[in-house]
Chains A and B, each alone.
Chain A
Amino acid sequence: MTDMKAQVDVLPGIDPRAPLLQINDLHVEFRTRDGVAKAVNGAGFSLSPGETLAILGESGCGKSVTAQAIMGILESPPGHITSGEIRYRGVDLLKLPEAQRRKVRANRIAMIFQDALSALNPVYTVGFQLAELFRAHRGMSRSDAKARAVDLLDQVRIPSARSRVNDYPHQFSGGMRQRVMIAMALALDPEVLIADEPTTALDVTVQAQIMGLLAELQRQRNMGLILITHDMGVVADVADRISVMYAGRVVEEAPVYDIYARPGHPYTRALLESIPRLDLKGQQLSVIRGLPPALTDVPRGCAFNPRCRYAKDPCRQDPAPPAYAIAPHRTARCHFFREVLGE
């Protein structure tokens, strides 16, 4: 294994002591005929080995676009990364030539898609697709690659992997398909795994199994995991830290227990209040008024101000609130974080 890894360790400027993954002030926009949609407006976070960072937000808040930008699979045009840094062990991936960038994918950073059926090529058996990875990236022989494919399917707990390896993606159930997808992503031993809503397309019992599997594989491999989701329930069990995104910005970042106990941003607070709770059965569920802003027309100042009950004049004026360090290891982009925290 180590000698195989050595083949890809040719990235210049790599610094083993630098943070595993660090995103600084990332801006992504989509230039369309209807105008420029600013999908990500200065997102930033970092990730260490073995850590699980959850990126939480409504659809359209830029969380998937951020993931695609990290992966380097943003459709361009129309997508453009206008500024920012994506540093893997100190190397800014955005400055790498495409050929080297390609080597980072799957070898260093891999991703799991939401819908595994559409993310697996329908005309090849899963074994062939897995074996292709080993043949293309590791130069393995067909039979070695096939054996590794079986081995991987075993690792993601697919029953009778030896025979299932010759099945096509559509012959698997939803949960099994997601396991295959996980196997594909982990095939080349990446250090960072991005899971973009990995359980949204699955039913609840299968969701728990997949999350359990992910957590276990992460522990075994000491991977950094970025979990993108809109489901606060999923996050609570597995994440170490949470980044809450709104309109392309990280509005709050905090360790998972702190955020549930005492949210520091009105948006996080509103999200938590809109989770149905058993002890409040029979009462009206609180909702967040209004709609997320159109990305072509993000409000001035704090993007959340039209929907915010704490909003006052400073919130409606540029610049947007800075990331206040509201507690050790916690930041929130809200001028009135003290009120939100209830101090």
Chain B
Amino acid sequence: MSDPNLITVAEAPDVSGKSRSLAGDAWLDLRRNKIFWVSAVLVVLILLMALAPSLFTSADPGACALSNKHKGPDGSAFFGYDFQGCDVFARTIYGTRASIEVGVLSTLLAGVLGLVFGLSAGYFGGTTDAVLSRLTDIMLGVPFLLGAVVFSGRLSGSADDGVWAVTLTLGLLTWTSAARVMRSSVIAVKSQDYVAAGRMLGAGPARLMLRHILPNSMASFIVVLTILLGTNIAAEATLSYLGVGLKGDAISWGLQIAEAQDYARIAAHPLIWPSVFLAATVLAFIMLGDAIRDAFDPKLR
């Protein structure tokens, strides 16, 4: 730290202005972070693909000709054709929507459930903690595939493509790890002096939880969620492969990977491209999560 009395005009903060908030400072930090920009651009691109696939390809993902079976790239089909003779590029682009929908929404659901359960269990302790923790343990005890088959089967209507059923299933089955991580962070943070100091200064339970405990307990929670996003996108593939996921003529990376894996030794490209997209998506979200987590920790600035 330089001499505190030497402040250049550029550094001198405007006292008249508002207090800089945690989010404001985090944004200032993120703006300078290259990893943030790379991952943010990737995420925006992926979201754009999910929202408007026709911007990226003019081909019809449903137009398949068996005569094209396992053909290499040609014309607009940059990634070649799969075993049904469908355009792999078009299907990968169109598959983004279902994969992202399922992945992001189920992770959000798991995040909300994990946050509520973990924060209340950790903060209130005692009986609340005992009840919520046993509930978490029970959910954790449900075998994932068995639970997914049962839930997804019960939840999905006959008419729709199964996106909502899969999203709910994955969200309900995966929030437990997030809740446990949240609970343990909250317990660790709760005993810190600054929480006692907050109470000493007249803060009520809501303020203590949201202002003091939550921001200091987010780090590992965010990491768990970014990992969960990747595994949930992949889990959708597993469920679809087992016939309890997306149905009918739905297109998703998971379905593509599941279908292509039988022919991997004959034609690898229908397997490789959706996998690359899946991996890039997960990586982008993990990097984004990391950058955001770091930005919210002032000590790392």
Contacts and interface: CB of A to CB of B under 8 A. Distances in A.
Interface in A156-199: 159-160, 162-166, 168, 170-171, 181, 184-185, 187-188
A102 B206 CA distance: 13
Contacts of A146: 15, 17-19
A73 B207 contact: no
B4 interface: yes
A136 B207 contact: yes
A122 interface: yes
Nearest to B190: A75
A159 B2 CA distance: 13
Contact of B202 (A137, A145, A147, A159): A137
Interface in B188-206: 192-194, 196-204
A159 B1 CA distance: 13
Contacts of B21: 128
A69 to B, nearest CB: 12
A123 interface: yes
Given A160-B7, A164-B4, A110 B19 contact: no
A133 to B, nearest CB: 6
B16 interface: yes
Nearest to A137: B202
Contacts of B211: 121, 132
Contacts of A171: 1
Contacts of A73: 196, 199-200
Contact of A142 (B1, B18, B126, B216): B18
A115 B20 CA distance: 25
B60 interface: no
B248 interface: no
B202 A102 contact: yes
Contacts of A145: 19
A131 B201 contact: no
How many B residues are at the interface, by size bracket?
A: 35 or more
B149 to A, nearest CB: 42
Majority DSSP secondary structure for residues of A touching B: helix
A165 B13 contact: yes
A137 B18 CA distance: 18
Contacts of B194: 118-122
A319 interface: no
A188 to B, nearest CB: 8
B15 A184 contact: no
B5 A118 contact: no
Contacts of B207: 136
A188 B212 CA distance: 20
B11 to A, nearest CB: 7
A173 to B, nearest CB: 9
B4 A122 contact: no
B161 interface: no
Contacts, number: 116
Interface string A59-76: 000000000100111000
Nearest to A104: B202
B12 A163 contact: yes
Given A102-B202, A119-B193, A125-B20, A170 B15 contact: no
B62 interface: no
Contacts of B298: 122-123, 168, 170
B299 interface: yes
A119 B197 CA distance: 6
B25 interface: yes
A225 to B, nearest CB: 16
A103 B200 CA distance: 10
Contact of A123 (B4, B5, B17, B297): B297
A132 B20 CA distance: 12
A163 B13 contact: yes
A107 B202 contact: yes
Contacts of A110: 200-201
Interface string A108-141: 0011010100111111110110011100110000
B1 A118 contact: no
B1 to A, nearest CB: 7
Nearest to B6: A160
A105 interface: yes
Nearest to A172: B1
Interface in B2-45: 4-5, 7, 11-13, 15-22, 25
Nearest to A142: B18
A137 B201 CA distance: 9
Contacts of A128: 19-22
Contacts of B297: 123
Contacts of A2: none
A143 interface: yes
A168 B7 CA distance: 18
A125 B4 CA distance: 17
A77 interface: yes
A164 B1 CA distance: 11
26 contacts: A68-B196, A72-B199, A73-B200, A102-B202, A102-B204, A103-B202, A110-B200, A111-B200, A113-B197, A118-B193, A118-B194, A121-B215, A127-B19, A128-B19, A131-B19, A133-B201, A142-B18, A142-B19, A143-B17, A147-B16, A159-B4, A159-B5, A160-B7, A163-B12, A168-B298, A181-B197
Interface of A: 68, 71-73, 77, 102-103, 105-107, 110-111, 113, 115, 118-125, 127-128, 131-133, 136-137, 142-143, 145-147, 149-150, 159-160, 162-166, 168, 170-171, 181, 184-185, 187-188
Given A163-B7, A188-B201, 11 more contacts: A115-B193, A118-B194, A121-B211, A122-B194, A125-B20, A136-B207, A159-B4, A164-B4, A165-B13, A184-B197, A185-B201
| Leading 3 A-B pairs by shortest Cβ distance | A118-B193, A119-B193, A106-B201
